Every structure is written in C-alpha cells, then in structure tokens.
Amino acid sequence: MMTLRKLTAKLSLGLTLALYFSCTGDEQPTFEPPKQSTEIGKAHLWLTTGDRSKLLTRESDLSVTESKETQLPTISISPQDKMQEIEGFGAALTGSSAYLMNQRMSSSQRQQLIRELFDPEQGIGISYLRMTVGASDFSLSDYTYNDLAAGESDYSLNRFSIAKDKEDVVPVFKQILQAYPNISIMGSPWSPPAWMKTNGSLIGGRLKVEAYEVYAEYFVKYIKAFEEEQIPIKAITVQNEPLHFTAGYPCMEMTASEQQVFIRDHLGPKFASENLNTKIILYDHNWDNTTYPISIMNDPQTKSFVSGSAFHGYGGQVGAMSLVHQAHPDMGLYFTEISGGEWSTNFSDNLQWNISNIFIGATANWSKNVLMWNLALDQNFGPKNNGCQDCRGVVTINSGTGAVTKNVEYYSIGHFAKFVSPGSFRIKSETQGNMNGINQVAFETPSGDKVLVIANDLSTSKEIVVKESSKEIQYNIPSKSVITLIWK
C-alpha cells in the first residue's frame, strides 16, 4: 500500500513536470523500455567443440543486427582491406594414401570418402592436394621416374616412366578430379634419380652439377606425363626439406646457393622455353630458416622465375612467414606440411593447436594455402617407408575393412576448406577489448560471403561481438571450441 508520504512526493513530481512543460511549450515525454535491435540478416554458424559433442555441426543461425555501442570484446571486419588471395586447403595424397584408397576400400567406400573429403556440401571441400614426385617416407617402396642399375645413366631420359604411380596414385587422382575438377595439385620431390646424385643413392647426397640440366628436363617430363593423364600440376617445390638429408628414406641436401643456381640457370629457363605455367616454389622446409628463401629471391634473375616459398611447421614459429613477406611482398607464401600423430592424442588440444597455429596462423601470416601431411593412413599409421612411425592421417582407413575414421585434422581442414573457396581473399580483422585465448582470421569469398574463423582456447565461454560496417553479430563462443561464421 502506498504511504501518504510517497503519494505526496509522486503528486509533487507530477505537478512540477506539468508546470515545467506548460511553461516551455514542450510535450511531456513518454518513458518506454529500450528498443530491441532490428534483425537485418542471418549468419550461418558451424561449431566443433573440444569434447567432440559438436563436430563441424551446423548450429542455429545468428541474427545480424544494426551496429550499436558495446562493452563486449569486438572483432571488426574490413572487407575493403584485402590481403593475399587464397588458393586452397587440404593435405598430401601420398603413395600410402593412394594405395589405401585404391586397394583397401570398395568402390562405394572410396566414392563416399571422396565426397566426404572434397565435396563442400556433403564433406569438407578440400581444394588443394600435394603429391610426392616419386617416393617419400609414405610410399610402398623407394623409387623415382628414372631408376637404373648402379653405374648406369640416362641423360636423354629415354627410360623415364611414371608406371609406378599408375598403380595407385594416378587412378585415385583421376577419380578425385573427375568429380571435383578444380582441385589444385602441388608436386614435391624427395630425391632425384640416384644416378643424378653425388652418392649414387636415393638417400642423402647432392645433385651432381653435371645433372642440373637433365634434372630440369626431368621436372618437365613429370609435368607433361601427368598432364597426359588429365592431372594438371599447378606448382612444384624444388626439393622437399632440403636441409634434412640424413633420413632413412629418399632425401637430398640442397643448399640455398645450389637451389638458386638450379632455378636461375636451368629449371626457370627450361619452364619458360616449354611454355609451362606450373609455378616454381622455393625452400619447402621449416619456419626456423627464413634466410634460405630470402637469399634466393634477393637475386632478381632467379626471382623472375619464382612464384614464392613454402614452409613446414616442425620447427620455428609461424610468424617467420611474415618476415619473408616483408622482404618480398610481391612473392607468394605457402604452407605445405604438418602432421599429427600419436605423440599428441588429445582431441581438444590438437584442435586448438591446428586451428590457431597452423590454419589461422599461416593464413594470418600471408600463406595462400594450408596443407596437412598424409590424407589417409591405416590403423598402424602406415604403410610406412622408413620415416615417421606414428604419424596420423587426416582420416584413418582400416586396411582390413575399408572403414573410415575422421581424425581431428579432418575437422580442422573443414572449418576452412568447406567455406573459404579458392579465389577468396583474406581481409582485415582487428580486435578490441580482452581477447586473451581467442584467435581469429577473416576472408571474403568470390560470391561476397564474409567468413570468420574463431578459436576459443579458454576453459570458459566467451561472449563477443563481430562488427562489419553498420552490422554486427553477437555470440557466446563455447569453451575449447572453434566456430566458422558466414554472412553476406
């Protein structure tokens, strides 16, 4: 019940307001609750959580509303500020991966896996594959495309043949390209033929100086042989891990000065004379050495034949790629290899590391692609060829049944490849407020979609606002999760 004192006070306030507005001529205001933000669009949301309760799951759409003042941590997107063009995301179709898909799966199993790997609607939309030029540590044996008996040589390359790859690699590539013809392919050699090397072995050694010209021709023959099989090679790296040459599988030492001379005087001119559009990519090794690619590109003549440099993530920090970009901003950057394995089995930790350090990290540091290592391995982490004994594939194929297990790498790739198509651009994204534990990168697709990938490494959820021009999206990101947000 209202007391006499409260009633008197209320009447007094009303009389005061009435007298004020009657004197000023102004209308008496009406008091209304705050207006709700008007929805002007929808944003699609895809979520993967560290506890696996959500695995690249389509969540309910979020409202896109008119932008307003907020105290929440904010990510501001500027689509007009474009950085590098994206060429794709994926992994390596190694000899081991191709063997499992071609010989250890039924036709229907293989077709289903191809859809789940390459279809952007029914799967994760892989758009870029790496292949090994000859054998690697994940092949069924050691081989190149011109293997001879000890003491023999073939400088005319009369015995060049990709017959070994026609067993598994060529058939699987053909099946993939028949269904998804726009896949980009990068080739990387682990070793030239043994007769071209100083030690006469696929393992270790260096490229003989007198073999520089024939090895350049070897690359040309490789590209043309696969083109004849309707498998176009978009790019090659000159040597996989040229500073790791003491392995038990095919490998070769190639110093920066050797690679420079090989490209400048042999490979570059050879590609030009043959009118090949295949890109030549430098280095193809860890983040911990930026001097190698920079020193080669510092020579203008060599640089004229080169499209960029490639990196692996087994040493150093991802920011090294930005150092190379600063030295040569007109050159492309590529991230071409990292593998998960049994040394790290926690799904949540691997998800956060893959997304933040590799996918967000590489693209935020100017990479035009991101590639994992083996596309598929079996339940015993093979077939192996004297290399990594416990590497994990993007998927695991049971060699007895053909059954497929999707690993954390599958979902990591999917948060990018499914939504960021080739021809997209990374766009500027800035943060305000407390963003500790949050990593993000943004893109614009050829169709004008904005794509934002965010990783929350915190043990608690995080409410944030995404702003783009006069629009905003608000969302509470679950703990230890990754989201991809798409809007027009």
Q: Choose the CATH number for 43-83+427-487 among 3.40.50.2300, 3.90.79.10, 2.60.40.1180, 1.10.540.10.
A: 2.60.40.1180
Evaluate the omega torsion of the peptide bond into residue 383 and state whether it is cis, within 30 degrees of 0: yes
**Total residues found in the chain within this entry:** 488
First to last CA, the chain: 55
Q: What does the pLDDT read at residue 25?
A: 43
Beta-carbon count within 10 A of 395 CB: 22
Q: Choose the CATH number for 87-422 among 3.40.50.1820, 3.20.20.80, 3.30.470.10, 3.30.70.600.
A: 3.20.20.80
Parallel, antiparallel or unpaired: strands 450-456 and 462-468: unpaired
Report the distance separating Cα 385 and Cα 132, nearest Å: 13
Q: Residue 173 half-sphere exposure, CB side, CA atoms within 13 Å?
A: 28
Q: What does the pLDDT read at residue 110?
A: 98
Q: Give start-end residues of each CATH 2.60.40.1180 domain in the chain.
A: 43-83+427-487
Beta strands in 86-222 (DSSP E): 88-92, 128-133, 184-189
Q: Which two tokens stand for residue 99?
A: 């063997």
Q: Give start-end residues of each CATH 3.20.20.80 domain in the chain.
A: 87-422
Q: What does the pLDDT read at residue 36?
A: 62
Report the distance separating Cα 449 and Cα 473, nearest Å: 14
Pick from 436, 468, 452: which is nearest to 73 by CA? Answer: 436
Report the distance separating Cα 233 and Cα 93, nearest Å: 13
Q: What does the pLDDT read at residue 193?
A: 99
pLDDT in tens, the chain (488 residues): 444 344 344 434 443 434 343 444 444 455 555 556 789 999 999 999 999 999 999 999 999 999 999 999 999 999 999 999 999 999 999 999 999 999 999 999 999 999 999 999 999 999 999 999 999 999 999 999 999 999 999 999 999 999 999 999 999 999 999 999 999 999 999 999 999 999 999 999 999 999 999 999 999 999 999 999 999 999 999 999 999 999 999 999 999 999 999 999 999 999 999 999 999 999 999 999 999 999 999 999 999 999 999 999 999 999 999 999 999 999 999 999 999 999 999 999 999 999 999 999 999 999 999 999 999 999 999 999 999 999 999 999 999 999 999 999 999 999 999 999 999 999 999 999 999 999 999 999 999 999 999 999 999 999 999 999 999 999 999 999 999 999 99
Q: What does the pLDDT read at residue 37?
A: 72
Q: Please give the model's pTM, rounded to 2 decimal places.
A: 0.92
Pick from 444, 434, 443: which is nearest to 465 by CA? Answer: 434
CA dihedral sign of residues 112, 118, 124, 130: positive
Q: What does the pLDDT read at residue 9?
A: 42
